[in-house]
Amino acid sequence: MPESESSNPAVKRRAPIACRRTFLERGQPDHDRDFRHPRVRADKSGRREPVKARRDILDAPVKPSNKSASEWDRLPPLPEIIDGVNRFTRHYFQLGFIPKEQFSRRLLQDHQSVSVFLVVSILSISARLSPPLSTRYGSGMKAAEFFMERAAAIAPSEIFVSKYTLESCQAFYLLSIAQQGSGIRNESHMNMGIALRMASALRLHLEETYDIANPTPDTVIRGESARRTLWMLHSQDQLHSGPHSPISLSASDITALLPCNENDFALGREPPSRAALEGSPPSISNPALICDPNRSLFASLIQAHGFWGVITRRAVSFTRSSYPWEPESKFATVSRKLDVWENSLPPNHRWSEVTFGEHKAAAQDLE
């Protein structure tokens, strides 16, 4: 080794103490950790129990915000509003989530307790059917446009709130329907998505949401309204899904059973049994629920929409399909299921002049 290299002192790269490892014996104090903050248990008082959450969704009607009074001042007189609401339930959504008699009664007794966002969303659809509103605004279309603009103006303030309400979810759904009918496709699609997300946040797709001990008739009515809201959202999602707009809420995610009949809904009664939609967890565990003989007309309508959605998505899909005459083809499978479903329909759900007359008299002819 050269002399110049041997004369250089060795470089100490770390202190000797750094290489020492000391492991404390069990029970010895560890004062080096005294500076750390003690662990504090999280406060769980803000977490709601499932039963309390269900009560919040189904028990009390919506509490109006401070802005509701000024919004009501912009609307026409109450009799004209009620006329528009009644035409909505009689001619547009004959099978829907609005409890017809109870909703009109609430408007008459205390309209401030009703969500103004929901009311203007209803009228954005039905105002064109109301002669008083058509006269007030110049035409049916102008009347519908007025209420649709009011609903669209209120909508942003209903999104980022601390607590979603059933009425807001319903209002976004109806606003989407009105916008779709007016050719406002993008806004309609977005508002439908908001309604679906609100329904999920409110857990309307879960059957346990509607399991309330000792419910009052008003609670049963509100629960059925929530259940119907979920299924109407699902049906709309089914009917308008396709290659460019996939399904947002699949039947496999829904444990909620199908709606009851209109009399039970109006009177706040629980039905003796409920049907299930094919593909939902209840129908998989008990297939007999699909063809429940006591199912309501609304339940049959939801099931028909489910078949229609499957068929339309199949028709526009770009995937390679099997030959339809093959017994295991998708076409043959759906055809067999449709035959079974049609043959199991209750007698009053089948077409006849007598049945049609009865449904028309009850404003359930689905005109």
* 222 in a structural domain: yes
Domain extent at residue 65:
48-202
How do the pLDDT tens digits run along the chain, 367 residues long?
555 555 566 655 555 555 555 656 666 666 555 555 555 565 554 455 555 555 566 665 545 555 556 888 889 999 999 999 999 988 888 789 999 889 999 999 999 989 999 999 999 999 999 999 999 999 999 999 999 999 999 999 999 888 899 999 999 999 999 999 888 888 998 999 999 999 999 999 999 999 988 889 999 999 999 999 999 999 988 877 666 667 788 889 999 999 999 999 999 999 999 999 999 999 999 999 999 999 999 999 999 988 888 877 776 665 555 676 777 777 888 888 888 888 988 888 888 888 888 877 877 766 5
The DSSP symbol for 174 reads H
> How far is 302 from 296, CA to CA, in rounded Å?
10
* Position 57, amino acid: I
What pTM value is reported for the model? 0.79
Q: Which pLDDT score, from 0 to 100, does residue 309 have?
A: 80
* Same domain, yes or no: 165 and 220: no
Q: Which pLDDT score, from 0 to 100, does residue 77 have?
A: 94
* Same domain, yes or no: 57 and 193: yes
CA distances from 214 to 155, 211, 217, 257, 309 (A): 35, 9, 10, 19, 37
Q: Which pLDDT score, from 0 to 100, does residue 59 have?
A: 60
Domain boundary (174, 202, 230) is at: 202
CA distances from 108 to 69, 85, 103, 283 (A): 16, 12, 9, 41
CA distances from 288 to 193, 292, 301, 340 (A): 32, 6, 18, 12
Q: Which pLDDT score, from 0 to 100, does residue 37 have?
A: 55
Q: Which pLDDT score, from 0 to 100, does residue 50 have?
A: 56
* 73 in a structural domain: yes
Q: Is residue 255 a contact partner of residue 281, using CB atoms and an 8 Å limit?
A: yes
* Same domain, yes or no: 188 and 286: no
* 16 in a structural domain: no
The DSSP symbol for 156 reads G
Domain count, the chain: 2
The number of beta carbons lying within 10 Å of the beta carbon of residue 140 is 17
Reference 297, options 250, 217, 365, 353; nearest CA is 365
* Same domain, yes or no: 116 and 229: no
- Tally DSSP H helices, then E strands, for the chain: 16, 0
Reference 252, options 226, 233, 230, 278; nearest CA is 278
Q: Give CB contacts under 8 A, 24+ apart, made by 277-285.
A: 277/234, 277/251, 277/302, 277/303, 277/306, 278/251, 278/303, 278/306, 278/337, 279/250, 279/251, 279/252, 279/306, 280/251, 280/252, 280/254, 280/255, 280/256, 281/252, 281/254, 281/255, 282/207, 282/255, 282/257
Q: Is residue 137 a contact partner of residue 47, using CB atoms and an 8 Å limit?
A: no
* Same domain, yes or no: 297 and 186: no
Domain boundary (202, 223, 238) is at: 202
* Same domain, yes or no: 140 and 286: no
Q: Is residue 210 a contact partner of residue 166, using CB atoms and an 8 Å limit?
A: no
> How far is 29 from 326, CA to CA, in rounded Å?
78
* 76 in a structural domain: yes
Q: Is residue 166 a contact partner of residue 173, using CB atoms and an 8 Å limit?
A: no
Tokens of 38: 């003690």
* 269 in a structural domain: yes
354 three-state secondary structure? helix
The pLDDT tens digits of the residues spanning 9-65 come to: 665 555 555 555 565 666 666 655 555 555 556 555 445 555 555 556 666 554 555
Q: Which pLDDT score, from 0 to 100, does residue 335 have?
A: 86
The pLDDT tens digits of the residues spanning 168-198 come to: 999 999 999 999 988 888 899 899 999 999 9
* 229 in a structural domain: yes
